[in-house]
A and B are shown apart, each in its own frame.
Chain A
Amino acid sequence: MSETPTMMVDGRAIPIAGQRNVLELCREAGIEIPSFCYHSDLSVFGACRLCLVEVEGHGVTTSCTLVPEPGLRIHTSTAEIRDMRKVGVELLLASHDMSCPTCPKGSHCKLQNLARRLGVREVPFPSATPHLPVDRSSDAIEINPNRCVLCGDCVRACQEISGTGVLDFAHRGNRATVSAAFGRSLAETECVGCGQCARVCPTGAIMPRSEVENVWRDLDDPRKTVVVQIAPAVRVAIGEAFGLAAGTVSTGQLTAALRRLGFDQVYDTAFAADLTVVEETEEFTRRLAHDERLPLLTSCCPAWVQCVERFHPGLIDNLSSCRSPQQMFGSLARRLLPERLESSPEDLVVVSIMPCTAKKTEARRPEFAGPEGPDVDHVLTTRELARMIDERGLVFDELAPEPMDLPMGFKTGAGLVFGATGGVTEAVLRHAGAVRSAGGELQGAGDPEPVRTLSVALGDRVLKLAVVHGLARARELMEEIEAGNPDGYDLVEVMACPGGCVGGAGQPPTTHPGACRARARGLAEADRSRQLHTSGANHLVRECYDELLETPGSEAAHDLLHTRYHRRPRPSDELAVVDGPAGA
């Protein structure tokens, strides 16, 4: 038997198996060491000073910076450590606005949980809350600095995951804040709305904007016909809000819950995803035939689209002109549903349930509005919907599963895999009938690499594809492509969030590092359980073409399903700083 090296944690020998630090080792060993500023997918910051452990012979140190070593003996909960953690939490509470009962973060707030776990019964220090204004300028997220603990998670997420660096620390000492440049409101910045900052925020300081009240208002209005679309990634995550394991496919319960909430029709964004695959494949093969505007860049992710418009305007023409599934659904619903549901156009309300904050911004794009207003009226995140279900008093996991409404509730497995990184490419390859060599699976197990490349055969041509998640890595790749596309990519799929939409900022908060992977597995399982796996096989999609859209890529299809993009002004534009080395 080979010897696994171990170290002693609270008197127990714990095997060392390549963990990044002692904090992760302890968590794997079932000891939940508190921390605010440690995230497995961000760099180590060491600011919150809560993950303290005592190392025998070396005193107290933070476990996030401690490398596991054989023979190390540590204690995670001495009286001294417990008191120091308590002092830390008391100090944070003294500068916190303590609006806990009305804070949307609720029971997911790490600060609140920690105060409870550590037995903080009162704050001995006088209040030092700053009383700064709340920023509600963005459609995607809102920032309440009075709840900020300055852990810097959002700053690192904005730099390391989204690559935009809109948020950073400003000022210093106890005047330090997390802020956009010059204290600008988010709407005045180059924020793309991906919401990764909100996803990692341990408190209620950065939260997705809530549209729940608007949705209630329309549901309560008897004149309105309210229809809803559910994005693929929602069904494998919403269960987490009700105690189910990550990745549990709860499409049936979700549909039932939405009907109980008062939605008139429940549809699937995956239907529109099938439509997207058909259109985008047509576009791709046409561009390939003419060797123009390659690589084709996918356009399903609105944060990514904004990223190209802002930071890589030279590649705007490479973006697929296809609207995202959410917006294809919206325009189709506006065209088809008033007649079918016998609703006047102005009384039809289209709601989407998305794992995403950027979809809220996308729905406000002027390109996606008709004379009656926006194609999609309200965008709810998975967690907003969970809250509505809670408010309505439904016991989610006891609901009897119900099927979705037709036609737009019908989808193939290809429409479902959109919710995880690689899904769009997978669906397009299936539809195009591309031949993959062994190992060309895009829906494999394990955490996908940030950038995956593969070669496939399509007809007599070998195509080079790249699949990216995380905007920071995407921007690096775009710089290569701008410099001449040396690797000769034909198609690049980009999703802003780690893991794709399953890791979206609108999903239920999770501390479980494997949650994203489990959700992606749930989608793969949902794909397998469908009878059809190729978008072209969706006969209701085909019906749409027969009735309305004619053929893929037709003028009618373009009218409803495609869009245009435009360069976004940058703060430096009016200063005409054109010859900087990067960006622009």
Chain B
Amino acid sequence: MTTTTVSRDGLRETVRGILDDHGRDPGRLIPILQAVQEEYHYLPAPALTTVAAALGVPEARVYGVATFYAHFSLEPKGRHVIRVCDGTACHVRGSRDLLDALRAELSLGEAEQTTPDAMFTLETVSCIGACGLAPAMVVDDQIHGLLTPEAAVAILRDVRDGDEPGEEVPA
């Protein structure tokens, strides 16, 4: 359900619940947005409008915060998110080669991040702190280290093969 259209009523109820959990405190804007993103895997525009109105802050400020932080996405993401670490250690140990191999495997262009079937989103991350295992990548919050391009592609294929239609994405 991660990428399908979100029902307005459902969204309103969910977002209100999140707002109440945080006491509708404008100072907790970032944790609130994190909770919304946790729920929908991205930040739907109506959710941001709801958050702004309920917190009594301008929408432009909420939008400004949402577009500032790399972890927030205003676009729906794929069912599986692959983040290739491009920290220094990974970079000198060939993270670019991993990225190229994965991008080729997913037939993604330079500017594209998400596959047309919304199955995978491929991103880089500045450092996941697994430098001792460089080069590394994170697939759906699981770290894989000491990779080669071939090993990275193999992991991706495992994920794809293991994905029965209709299965929920693991939290």
User: How far apart are the CA atoms of A181 and B24 in the complex, in Å?
Assistant: 20
For the complex formed, measure the closest distance between the CB of A307 and the CB atoms of chain B, giving whole angstroms.
13
When distances are taken between beta carbons in the complex, the residues of chain B under 8 Å from A570 are 53
In the complex, A21 has a CB within 8 A of chain B: no
Is B56's CB under 8 angstroms from A580's CB? yes
Nearest residue in B to A166 (C-beta to C-beta)? B60
- Cβ of A179 within 8 Å of any chain B Cβ, yes or no, is yes
Q: How far is the CB of A258 from chain B (nearest CB, A)?
A: 39
Which among A165, A171, A182, A571 is the interface contact of B57 at CB below 8 angstroms?
A165
B-side contacts of A125, CB under 8 Å: none
Output the least CB separation between A169 and chain B (Å).
5
Q: Which residues of B contact A165 (CB under 8 A)?
A: 57-58, 60-61
Partner of B68, one of A167, A171, A582: A171
Checking A179, A182, A583 against B45 with a beta-carbon cut-off of 8 angstroms, the contacting residue is A182
Is A575 a contact partner of B61 (Cβ separation < 8 A)? no
**Would you call A167 and B60 a contact (CB within 8 A)?**
yes
Known contacts A168-B58, A179-B60; A577 and B12 CB within 8 A of each other: yes
How many A-B Cβ pairs are below 8 Å? 77
* Interchain CB contact (< 8 A) of A181 among B50, B54, B55, B58: B58
Please give, as numbers and ranges, the residues of chain A lying within 8 Å of B61 by CB-CB distance: 165, 168
Given the known inter-chain contacts A181-B59, A571-B59, A577-B12, please indicate yes or no for A171 contacting B54, CB distance below 8 A: no
Find the B residue at minimum CB distance from A165.
B58
Residues of A within 8 A of B52 (CB): 181, 572
**Complex alpha-carbon distance, A169 and B46, angstroms:** 20
B64 is contacted by which of A170, A572, A580, A582 (Cβ under 8 Å)? Answer: A170
B36 within 8 A of A: no
Q: Specify which of A575, A576, A580 is in contact with B24 (CB 8 Å cutoff).
A: A580
Complex CA distance for A100 and B8, rounded to whole angstroms: 47
B58, A572: Cβ atoms closer than 8 Å: no
A61: interface (CB < 8 Å): no
In the complex, B137 has a CB within 8 A of chain A: no
Indicate if the CB atoms of A577 and B64 lie closer than 8 Å: no
Smallest Cβ distance from A455 to chain B, in angstroms?
32
Q: Is the CB of A181 within 8 A of B12?
A: no
Interface string of A419-460 (1 = CB under 8 A from B): 000000000000000000000000000000000000000000
A171 contact set on B, CB distance < 8 A: 67-68
Q: What residues of B have a CB within 8 angstroms of the CB of A170 in the complex?
A: 60, 63-64, 67-68
Determine whether the beta carbon of A576 is less than 8 Å from that of B12: yes
Q: Is B49 an interface residue (CB 8 A)?
A: yes
Measured between beta carbons, the chain B residues less than 8 angstroms from A189 are: 60
Whether A583 lies near B60 (C-beta < 8 A) is no
CB proximity of A482 to chain B, nearest CB, Å: 13
Q: Which of A170, A172, A579 has the most CB of B within 10 A?
A: A170
Residue of chain B at shortest CB distance from A584: B53
Interface assignment of B98: CB less than 8 Å from any CB of chain A = no
CB-defined contacts of B16 to chain A, threshold 8 Å: 577
Query: For the complex, is A349 an interface residue (Cβ under 8 Å from B)?
Result: no
Contact residues of A between 558 and 584, Cβ < 8 Å to B: 570-572, 575-577, 579-584
How far does the alpha carbon of A577 sit from the alpha carbon of B24 in the complex, in Å? 12
Q: Which of A181, A581, A582 contacts B60 (CB 8 A)?
A: A181
A575 to B15, CA, bound (A): 11
B68 touches A180 (CB 8 A): no
Q: Are A577 and B53 touching (Cβ within 8 A)?
A: yes
Interface core residue of B55, B56, B59, B62 (most chain A CB under 10 Å): B59
Q: Which residue of A lies closest to B46 (CB)?
A: A575
Residues of chain B with a CB closer than 8 A to A167's CB:
60
* B125 vs chain A, min Cβ distance (A): 16
**Most-contacted residue by chain A among B57, B60, B64 (CB, 10 A):** B60
Q: Contacts of B46 on A, CB cut-off 8 Å?
A: 575
User: Contacts of B63 on A, CB cut-off 8 Å?
Assistant: 168, 170, 179, 181-182
> From DSSP, what is the main secondary structure of chain B's interface residues?
helix
Partner of A575, one of B49, B56, B68: B49
Taking CB atoms and an 8 Å cut-off, the chain A residues in 114-163 that contact chain B are 159
Given A170-B67, A171-B67, A575:B53 Cβ within 8 A: yes
Chain A residue with the shortest CB-CB distance to B61: A168
Check B67–A172 contact: CB distance below 8 A: yes
Q: Kindly state the separation between the CA atoms of A172 and B65 in the bound complex, as whole angstroms.
A: 10
Closest chain A residue, CB of each to CB of B74 = A182
- Contact among B24, B45, B57, B58 for A166, CB-based, below 8 A: B58
Mark B66-89 against chain A: 1 for CB-CB distance below 8 A, else 0. 011000000000000000000000
B-chain residues with CB within 8 Å of residue A576 when the two chains form the complex:
12
Chain B residues with CB under 8 A of A180: 60
A164 in the interface, Cβ–Cβ < 8 Å?
yes
A396–chain B nearest beta-carbon distance, Å: 40
What mask results when residues 23 to 67 of chain B are scored 1 for a CB within 8 Å of chain A, else 0? 010000000000000000000011011101111111111111001
Is the beta-carbon distance between A168 and B64 smaller than 8 angstroms?
yes
A181 touching B56 by the CB < 8 A rule?
no
Q: Which residues of chain A are within 8 angstroms of B57 by Cβ–Cβ distance?
A: 165
- From A177, which residue of chain B is reached at the shortest CB distance? B67
Residue ID in chain B nearest A572 by CB atoms: B53
Decide: B62 and A575 in contact? CB cutoff 8 A: no
A575–B54 Cα gap in the complex (Å)?
11
Q: B56 near A583 (CB under 8 angstroms)?
A: yes
Choose from B24, B55, B58, B68 the contact partner of A164 (Cβ within 8 Å): B58
CB distance from B17 to the nearest CB of A (A): 13
Q: How far is the CB of A476 from chain B (nearest CB, A)?
A: 13
Distance (whole angstroms) from the CB of B126 to the closest CB of chain A: 12
The residues of A that contact B59 with a CB separation of less than 8 Å are 181-182, 571
Given A182-B45, A575-B12, A168 contacting B53 (CB threshold 8 A): no
Q: Choose from A172, A181, A581 the contact partner of B62 (Cβ within 8 Å).
A: A181
Write out the residue numbers on chain B whose beta carbons fall within 8 Å of the beta carbon of A179.
60, 63-64
A166 to B58, CA, bound (A): 7
Interface residues of A in 525-584 (CB under 8 A from B): 570-572, 575-577, 579-584
How far apart sit A171 and B66, CA to CA, in the bound complex (Å)?
8
Candidate in A165, A166, A180 with the most chain B CB atoms within 10 angstroms: A165
- Nearest residue (CB) in B for A575 is B50
A168 and B12 contacting across the interface, CB-CB below 8 Å: no
* List of B residues within 8 angstroms of A172 by Cβ: 67-68
Nearest A residue to B51, CB-CB: A577
Instruction: Please list 25 pairs of residues, one from A and one from B, whose beta carbons are closer than 8 Å in the complex, sorted by A's number.
Output: A165-B58, A165-B61, A168-B63, A169-B64, A172-B67, A172-B68, A179-B60, A181-B49, A181-B52, A182-B45, A182-B63, A571-B49, A572-B49, A572-B52, A572-B53, A575-B8, A575-B49, A575-B50, A577-B12, A577-B50, A579-B54, A580-B24, A580-B54, A581-B55, A581-B56
- Listed in ascending order, the chain A residues whose CB lies under 8 Å from chain B are 159, 164-172, 179-182, 189, 570-572, 575-577, 579-584
Q: A168-B61, A182-B48, A584-B53 are in contact. List 9 more A-B contacts (CB 8 A).
A: A169-B64, A170-B63, A170-B64, A172-B68, A571-B49, A571-B59, A575-B12, A575-B49, A577-B16
